[in-house]
Amino acid sequence: MSPGAQPIIVKKKKAAHHGHHGGAWKVAYADFVTAMMAFFLVMWLVGQSKEVKSAVAGYFRDPGIFDQAKSDGPIAGGDLRLDPEAAPPADAGTGLAEGERAALEETAKRIKQRLADAPDLRSLGRQIDIQVTRDGLRIELVDAESQTFFASGSAALAAGTEKVLELIARELGALKNSIVIEGHTDSRPYAATDIYSNWELSADRANAARRVMERGGLHARQVRGVRGYADRQLRVGGAPLDPRNRRVSVIVEHLYRASSLPAGVRELASGAKASPTERDAPAPPVAAPAHPPGAGGARSH
C-alpha cells in the first residue's frame, strides 16, 4: 500500500438475537381453529333434519347414548329409540310423531276409563294425573291430604295402590316404549340421621312401584330406569310441604324410526346386542336401608 493511500477499514456487525416472543401466538391460533371448528359444526347442524338435530341434542344430554344403543335400549337421552316399526317423527312443535301421539293419547284414555269403571278405585283415580308431553306419556300418582298411595314415611303400598299400578301396567305392557319410574317426596325431613332420608324413601317408593308393575304385566326390559329425586322436583314449588309434592311418576318415553337416526348411530346400534338374559333381567332394586324406613323418623308422610 502506498504511503498516501487511505486505509480500508471493514467493520463486521455482530447479529443481535431478538427477544423471545413467547407462545401467545399459539394460544391465539388455537382459539381461531376452535372457533372455526365450532362454526362449521353449527353450519352442518343447520343443514340437518329435525331428527338428526334431536339425536345430537340427546347425546349431549346423555353421553351414554352409545352404550345404550349397543344393548338395544333407548338412545339420545331417552328421546330416540331404535324401533323400525315406530311412527316417524313429527314437527318440533309437538315433539311426538302423529301416530305415536295418538297411540299414547289412546292409552291414556283407556287408563282413565278403566279407573272410572272400577268402583273401588274411583277416589284414587282423581289423584292420578295423565298427560302427553314432549317426553311421552306422563302418569303421576299424586298424594292428597286425606288419601295417600304409600304408608306414612315408608315404601309400603297403601290400600288400592297395588290395583292402580297393576291396571296401568297392563296397558303399558302392550306398548314397545321404554319406561322410567320416578319417586318424589315433599320437604318434610326425617330425624337428624344419615341412615335414611327422603332420597332413600323416594327411590324405594319408585322401586316398589316397579315391582308391582312388573308383576302386573309390564315387561322388565321396558324399564329403563328407577329414580329417586327426594324433594328436588317439587310439584308445588311454593309449598314444599304440600302433600301433592309426594308422588310417583311413570314416564312412557316416545319412539322414533330407526331410519330417522343418523347413519353412525344406526351402525353402532346394529352391532353387539345384549343377550336375551341381560335384556330380560329386571332392573336392580335399590339397596335396602340399614334400618326400617321411618324408624325414629320425624316426618308424617
CA distance 123 to 115: 9
- Dihedral (CA of 30, 33, 37, 39) sign: positive
In a domain, 245, yes or no: yes
The three-class DSSP label of residue 221 is: helix
Place of cell 315433599: 186
Confidence bin at 215 (pLDDT 50/70/90): very high
In a domain, 215, yes or no: yes
| Better-scored residue on pLDDT, 59 or 217 | 217
Say how many Å lie between the first and final Cα of the chain, rounded: 117
| Residue 40: φ, ψ to 5° | -70, -35
Q: What is the pTM assigned to this prediction?
A: 0.58
* pLDDT value, residue 279: 40
Cell of 200: 332413600
Q: Give pLDDT tens digits for 15-57.
A: 655 555 667 888 899 999 999 999 998 898 888 887 777 777 7
- Asked if the structure places residue 125 within a domain, the reply is yes
Residue 254 in domain: yes
Give CA angle at 65 (62, 71), nearest 5°: 140
On whether the CB atoms of residues 133 and 139 are closer than 8 A, the answer is no
The percentage of residues in the chain with a pLDDT greater than 70, rounded to a whole number, is 66
pLDDT of residue 16: 59
pLDDT value for 122 = 80
**Going by C-beta distance under 8 Å and a sequence separation of 6 or more, which residues neighbour residue 250?**
138, 139, 140, 141, 168, 172, 179, 180, 181, 182, 209, 213
Cα separation, 70 vs 271, in Å, equals 6
Q: What is the DSSP letter of 94?
A: T
Map grid coordinates 282413565 to a residue. 112
Residue 64 banded pLDDT, cuts 50, 70, 90: low
Residue 72 burial (CB count, 10 A): 18
Question: Does 122 fall in a domain?
Answer: yes
Q: Is the pLDDT assigned to residue 141 strictly greater than 50?
A: yes
Pairing of strands 80-81, 128-133: unpaired
CB atoms inside a 10 Å sphere around CB 183: 29
Q: With 60 as the cut, is the pLDDT of residue 82 above it?
A: no
Which residues, 6 or more positions from 99, have their beta carbon under 8 angstroms from its beta carbon?
Answer: 87, 88
Q: What's the average model confidence in pLDDT over 203-216? A: 96
Q: Is 73's pLDDT higher than 90?
A: no
Residue 30: inside a domain: no
Q: What is the mean pLDDT of residues 182-192?
A: 87
Total number of domains in the chain: 1
CATH number at residue 262: 3.30.1330.60
**Domain limits for position 165:** 50-280
Q: Decide which of 235 and 89 is more confident.
A: 235
Asked, for residue 287, whether it belongs to a domain, the answer is: no
- Is 18 a domain residue? no
